[in-house]
């Protein structure tokens, strides 16, 4: 029998706040974290805006010597893991450490370290490259450092599945616990890729919004005047536990995770499947895994990137997967406020999905001003909506045609 898995802790570092409470309050108020890029000089760039994490100091979470050995995405993961574990009340000790794991993914890892050390190599030669360059930059070191910090000796892994990475981390962790490979997992995504090379690369792809004159209006999912995504950063983590393990220690339960689906478009390296087949199939797989029908989903946290094609074809996929119920289900894209955090997006949005259930309020899609005839569903425009929903579905799609879908349920015995 599959073991039941529940969410007992949440942690966030986002452009809207450096903890869960601050971020969620901003999201429900429809406040944007997008602004002008402060991390580097954008004078020569066509894109001058991003959703940067503000007022974050890693030294609030670790010693300076320790911080220097880590990349920025790992700093975010450490901070979010501390909050998630504190919220959960989970104590990791010799009695349980081997059954508690870490699965924290990233789309890119630390581009800052790559760019900085490459400059050192060119200007000063190979001896100038830091011995910490590799552990700062590689994708699995967020999970590795969180494991070391908290003494979690169970599964310790990561995936680099682009913008679906955080969702895959949570879904795979769900599977580990279901089948008995772990009793609890610290899981989600972390990213810090607002760098000169990364922004230049995404801009070259014509993927980013160039609405530089009005940053907070730039991310506008499903709106007819959307022109690209706003790159973001941060971390979204959660503690998943086997139900009896959580109940035995009297843990607070935010929600239950009941469904997970994966699919591939097999279509294009960056463009979404224009038939909507891949996203349709991943939603149907997740619902089948949860043992529910489309009519039971009350809210969808959409991938909703604010690019012309993604929003159009995600809308099509929802119609294909949900049939007549597509017109009744509430949908929103929180990327309208936090931007697109790439490999962290799925983790951040999974936390929002759980909060939507637990707090009984659905976050809005902000900047929805001009309806698009091809995006004609209920996107919760501009204002949050009080609603008690039983099931929430969260979509995450990535370059290479990789798709992930998570389903959370209001917890009941």
- Nearest CA to 350 among 177, 173, 208? 173
- Nearest CA to 366 among 27, 21, 14? 27
Q: 338 phi and psi, to 5 degrees?
A: -100, 0
- Category of 266 on φ-ψ map: left (φ > 0), alpha (ψ -120 to 50) or beta: left
Choosing from 16, 163, 375, 405, which is the catalytic residue?
163
* Angstrom distance (rounded) from CA 206 to CA 229: 10
**Alpha carbon of 354 to those of 214, 284, 382, 407: distances in Å?**
31, 20, 20, 9
Alpha-carbon torsion angle 121, 125, 126, 132, nearest 10: -50
Q: What is the DSSP letter of 216?
A: G
* Structural element, H or E, at residue 85: helix 72-88
**Which alpha helices (DSSP H) does 102-220 contain, by range?**
111-124, 133-137, 141-150, 165-178, 196-204
Contact 299, 331 (CB under 8 A): yes
Choosing from 75, 87, 168, 303, which is the catalytic residue?
303
* Structural element, H or E, at residue 321: helix 308-322
Only one residue has tokens 């911080």, namely 67
303 is catalytic: yes
163 is catalytic: yes
Contact 257, 210 (CB under 8 A): no
- Category of 180 on φ-ψ map: left (φ > 0), alpha (ψ -120 to 50) or beta: left
Choosing from 87, 168, 340, 358, which is the catalytic residue?
340
* Angstrom distance (rounded) from CA 37 to CA 14: 15
* Structural element, H or E, at residue 263: strand 255-264
Task: Report the SS3 class of residue 109.
Answer: coil
Give the dihedral sign, CA 264/267/268/271: negative
* Angstrom distance (rounded) from CA 228 to CA 244: 45
Contact 162, 107 (CB under 8 A): yes
Q: What is the DSSP letter of 199?
A: H
Residues that are catalytic: 163, 303, 340
């Amino acid at each position: 029998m599959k073991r039941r898995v529940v969410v007992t802790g949440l942690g966030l570092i986002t452009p809207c706040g450096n903890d869960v409470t601050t971020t969620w309050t901003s999201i429900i108020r429809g406040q944007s974290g997008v602004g002008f890029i402060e991390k580097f000089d954008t004078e020569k760039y066509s894109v001058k805006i991003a959703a940067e994490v503000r007022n974050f100091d890693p030294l609030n979470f670790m010693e300076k010597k320790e911080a220097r050995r880590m990349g920025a995405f790992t700093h975010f993961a450490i901070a979010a893991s501390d909050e998630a574990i504190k919220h959960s009340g989970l104590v990791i000790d010799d009695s349980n450490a081997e059954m508690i794991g870490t699965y924290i993914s990233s789309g890119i890892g630390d581009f800052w370290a790559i760019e900085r050390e490459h400059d050192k190599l060119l200007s000063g030669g190979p001896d100038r490259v830091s011995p910490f360059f590799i552990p700062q930059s590689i994708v699995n070191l967020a999970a590795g450092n969180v494991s070391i910090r908290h003494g979690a000796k169970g599964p310790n892994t990561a995936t680099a599945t682009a913008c679906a990475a955080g969702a895959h981390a949570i879904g795979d962790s769900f599977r580990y616990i279901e089948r008995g490979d772990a009793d609890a997992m610290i899981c989600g995504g972390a990213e810090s890729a607002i760098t000169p090379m990364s922004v230049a690369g995404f801009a070259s792809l014509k993927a980013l919004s160039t609405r530089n004159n009005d940053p907070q209006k730039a991310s506008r999912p499903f709106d007819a005047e959307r022109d690209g995504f706003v790159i973001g950063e941060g971390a979204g983590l959660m503690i998943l536990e086997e139900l009896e393990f959580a109940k035995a220690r009297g843990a607070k339960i935010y929600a239950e995770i009941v469904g997970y689906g994966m699919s591939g478009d097999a279509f294009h390296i960056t463009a979404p499947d224009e038939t909507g087949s891949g996203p349709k199939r991943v939603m149907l797989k997740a619902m089948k895994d949860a043992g529910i029908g489309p009519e039971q989903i009350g809210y969808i946290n959409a991938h909703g990137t604010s690019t012309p094609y993604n929003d159009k074809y995600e809308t099509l996929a929802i119609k294909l997967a949900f049939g007549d119920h597509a017109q009744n289900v509430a949908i929103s894209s929180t990327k309208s406020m936090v931007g697109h955090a790439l490999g962290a997006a799925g983790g951040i949005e999974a936390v929002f999905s759980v909060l939507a259930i637990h707090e009984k309020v659905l976050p809005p899609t902000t900047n929805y001003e001009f309806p698009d005839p091809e995006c004609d569903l209920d996107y919760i425009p501009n204002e949050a909506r009080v609603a008690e929903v039983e099931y929430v579905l969260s979509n995450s799609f990535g370059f290479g045609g990789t798709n992930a879908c998570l389903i959370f349920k209001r917890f009941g015995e």
